[in-house]
Amino acid sequence: MPEIARDDRVIHYTCAGFGPGVLLVPGIGSGARLFGTLPRRFARDGFTCAAINPVGLPPSSPQLSKPYDFDAAAKDVLAVAAQLPSPVSLVGTSLGGKVALLAAAQGGAAIATLVMLCSTALQTERSRRVHRMFLQLSATADPNILGECLAPFLFGASFHAARPMVVNSLIRAMQPTQETRQLMHAQALAMASFDGTMAARGCAVQTLCLAGAEDTITLPDEVVATAALLPQARYKILERAGHSLLLESPQAYKEIVDFLRCNQ
């Protein structure tokens, strides 16, 4: 697994394929494993696809300071993006979309396009309560039931109804390590004060914002409001899909690849 050092941080990432760069940025408490075989799928479609393991999750550096720092995480993303062939696109899901937004706003010409999946730059009273839910679950929930607690929110109603065995399998696989829970807790704390409004308004890259119509973590209206802030953004709401958009909706991957190819 390749790695890059930045200051006192070491960031590991996976990498597959040849062609324009795509960097996948995972959501709360997650690393490259979140994306499964997706990097190989991008590779088959002609991209060099990397997926980052954020600082706090092995084999990347341990969490170097107790507070999670969105700005530092964005700089980590830019450091990995610099290792990929141009043009480089960032694809961030949920919290990873916030990190990718900051990286795209800071990166200038280094980042060609941005995709935000079920992610918002804005804070609402409802979203703050969602962050507090993650904060409490990461601190107090039995690891054996964390998947059961989160599953109603991570997947839409249609996916629960159509793929119950898959949902059960995913729940069984959700066995968070101590590092995972610590990172989730630190990230949930940081989200309480996150405001990406200025970054969104200053982000000059072409952006695609995708939402799941059944998402109860990041509401479609929040995604639409984020797209309205971005100078060069469009959005699409995908039916019969919740927060785990790439898993629940085959259309999501097609939308991303079409967008990247149109903007190379």
Read off the pLDDT band of 64 (50, 70, 90).
low
Structure confidence at residue 67 (pLDDT): 87
Helix (H, G, I), strand (E, B) or coil at 75: helix
Read off the pLDDT band of 240 (50, 70, 90).
very high
pLDDT averaged over every residue in the chain = 94
The domain limits of the chain are 3-123+196-262
pTM for the structure as a whole: 0.97
Structure confidence at residue 63 (pLDDT): 72
> pLDDT above 70 covers what percent of the chain?
99
Residue 210's nearest CA partner among 91, 95, 124, 112 is 91
Distance CA 206, CA 202 (A): 12
HEC states along 121-168? CCCCHHHHHHHHHHHHHHHHCCCCCHHHHHHHHHCCHHHHHHCHHHHH
What is the topology classification, in CATH, of domain 3-123+196-262?
Answer: Rossmann fold (3.40.50)
Give the pLDDT confidence of 175-194 residue by residue, as tens digits.
888 899 999 999 999 999 99
Average pLDDT over residues 73-89: 97
Read off the pLDDT band of 65 (50, 70, 90).
low
Give the pLDDT confidence of 86-120 residue by residue, as tens digits.
999 999 999 999 999 999 999 989 999 999 999 99
Answer for the pair 7, 75: CB distance below 8 angstroms, yes or no: no
> What number of CA atoms fall less than 13 Å from residue 25's CA on the CB side?
34
Structure confidence at residue 186 (pLDDT): 94
